[in-house]
Amino acid sequence: MNVTIHNPDRYMADLRTIVAQGRKRIGLLVGSGAPAAIIAESGGPLIPTVEGLTKRVLEALDSSYHSPIESIRARLPGANIESILSRVRALSSVIGDGKIDGLDGAGHEELARRICTEIGTAVNVRLPSGENPYRNIVSWISGTDREHPVEIFTTNYDLLFEEAFESSRNAYFDGFTGACAPFFDPVTVSSNDLPARWTRLWKLHGSLGWKGSEAGDVTRTGDPSFTHLIFPEHLKYDQTQKAPYASLFDRLRAFLLTPDTLLIATGFSFSDAHVSARIDECLTANASASVFAFQFNQLADEPFAAAIAERRPNFSVFAKDKAVVSGVSGDWRPGDPLSRDWEPIRATYWQTEAQGGSFLLGDFKKLARFFALARTSQIAPAPPTESKEPEAAKP
């Protein structure tokens, strides 16, 4: 019986060359598994993924809301904060003056607002001091003269990338222009004609500090207490058709339809259907575009990414135990070292057989360090791994 084997050395040597040279058009797709990979001083993730966020938000709500929440969870076994918020908003729009679980329509609307406020509070954090993966990514971007700007697409609401760019005095553009009340400029987003040294930072679901007006305009306030976000609920698709989100999703589409582009995904499970569908559609239309999806879990636990990879040969999945490349799934198996000095380089993406043998770059910390060291021929030993592993990546 034939068994397909994928050699991580081959793929990572090629990737290392690509990210070091600065000639290829590269984008990053960053999901909530990225900040969850950073261990905060409390011992938990800097920002939790969906499961942890559910626990934190529900615990923070007033006790008067516990009964309605428990009733919703009883009707939706396994419900997380996404499905709970979806149900609360659905009820707020249909029941009017009637009551369900002790709340009328206005009461459910207020509950939804409070859930959104707690989500904003949970993601309003600062980067830890010293080396961290966000600063490693910025170091990689700024360390090479580039023919094309790096474009970062993220579904996260936090300001961690902004903090990393600003603390290192590296330029970026997020679609807003101005000083007193920066406004979103869709023309500049679509034309994309700023210098290549300006990284593009596209917040696909909005951001802390964004403020919406009754006229539908959005400004960037600099105050994280303002939150103009696409929260994870049933109106998400409709909201992405409005400004500024329509322009940001159009930018993702334009990037993937450009010849010879590479989108590298990290911390993203691809369960977010309206993002995954856009990527799937573009890969079908542009065979010269590629997506490398670095997944934290084993392949069997990454069904959404694996499903796209099995039908799109230009979508590759690199999971902890296996990879799907050119539509073919296979186990990881390293080969002979590619050079005399390859073993230290291999240690940046592969855990040795003596330690269990697994691919490491599904962890955002490891991937960011791999990028930062791409131009370095002498690799220093990796820093000690924290005792607590990050949560599994969710969008």
Which 3 state secondary structure label does DSSP give 169?
Answer: coil
- For 191-242, the DSSP string reads H--S-TTSEEEEETTEEETEEE-TTS-EEE-S-TT-EEE--SSTTHHHHTTS
pLDDT tens sequence across 287-302: 999 999 999 999 999 9
Work out the burial of residue 376: count CB atoms within 10 Å of its CB; fewer than 13 is exposed, 13-18 middle, 19 or more buried.
Answer: middle
Residue 138 pLDDT class (50, 70, 90 cuts) = very high
- For 301-351, the DSSP string reads G-HHHHHHHHH-TTEEEE-SSEEEETTEEEEE---S-SSTTHHHHHTTTEE
* Percentage with pLDDT > 70 across the chain: 89
Residues forming beta bridges with residue 290, ordered by sequence position: 262
* Percentage with pLDDT > 90 across the chain: 57
What is the structure's pLDDT at 214?
66
Residue 389 pLDDT class (50, 70, 90 cuts) = very low
What is the structure's pLDDT at 228?
64
- Of 107, 40, 30, the residue nearest 68 (C-alpha): 107
- Of 320, 331, 312, the residue nearest 294 (C-alpha): 320
Is 312:327 a contact under the CB 8 Å cutoff? yes
Place of tokens 């856009």: 278
- Torsion-angle region of residue 240: left (phi > 0), alpha (psi -120 to 50) or beta? alpha
What is the structure's pLDDT at 273?
83
State both tokens at 80.
């997380």
pLDDT tens sequence across 178-221: 988 899 899 999 988 899 999 999 999 888 888 877 666 788 88
Q: Does residue 364 register a pLDDT over 90? A: yes
What is the structure's pLDDT at 215?
67
pLDDT tens sequence across 76-112: 887 888 778 878 888 888 888 989 988 999 999 899 8
pLDDT tens sequence across 298-321: 999 999 999 999 999 999 999 999
pLDDT tens sequence across 265-282: 999 999 888 899 999 999
Report how far residue 38's alpha carbon sits from residue 35's, in angstroms, rounded to the nearest whole number.
5
